[in-house]
Amino acid sequence: MKKFIAVIVIALTFTLTGQAQDKMAKKTTVVSLEQTTGDFSQKELTLKEGNYIFEIANNNVGHQVGFVLVPKGKDVSKPENHISTAYVTKPVENNTKETSKVTTLTKGEYVYFCPLNPTPQYTLTVE
């Protein structure tokens, strides 16, 4: 019985160490986006595959703003199509900034917009 428990502990330690190494190997980049009334200042983005945190600035919009990211071609009105990790962790108050969780993006096209502002849909391309 003691040998069996020792094997499990060693296996768990190896798994955790491997996960820690994977996280260290993947760099996270902050992408800063600014919203003004009815608009994002950045009309188009091109990024490389990787991990990103979206920082959304509310530049005197006068009310809360948010951020939605959806794979291009998916129905943006359906929350199940949204990349939920890209949502800001709370609505962005006037003249403040908020960030999303880490979001992993793979090659393809996405659209981003703010439903609270509201803004047009803009293109984010991942190469």
Which pLDDT score is estimated for 15?
Answer: 43
- DSSP assignment string, 5-20: HHHHHHHHHHHHHHHH
Residue with tokens 């969780």: 101
At 8, is the pLDDT very low, low, confident or very high (cuts 50, 70, 90)?
Answer: very low
Q: Identify the residue with better confidence: 120 or 3.
A: 120
Whether residue 31 contacts residue 103, with contact meaning beta carbons closer than 8 Å, is answered with no
Closest CA to 126 of 112, 108, 113, 111: 108
Is the pLDDT reported for residue 3 higher than 60? no
The Cα 13–Cα 11 span in angstroms is 5
Average pLDDT over residues 9-13: 38
Is the pLDDT reported for residue 38 higher than 80? yes
Is the pLDDT reported for residue 120 higher than 70? yes
Q: What are 92-118's pLDDT values in tens digits?
A: 999 999 999 999 999 999 999 999 999
Is the pLDDT reported for residue 127 higher than 50? yes
Whether residue 111 contacts residue 123, with contact meaning beta carbons closer than 8 Å, is answered with yes
Which pLDDT score is estimated for 12?
Answer: 36
Q: Domains in the chain, start-ordered, CATH in brackets?
A: 29-126 (2.60.40.420)
Q: What are 43-98's pLDDT values in tens digits?
A: 999 999 999 999 999 999 999 999 999 999 999 999 999 999 999 999 999 999 99
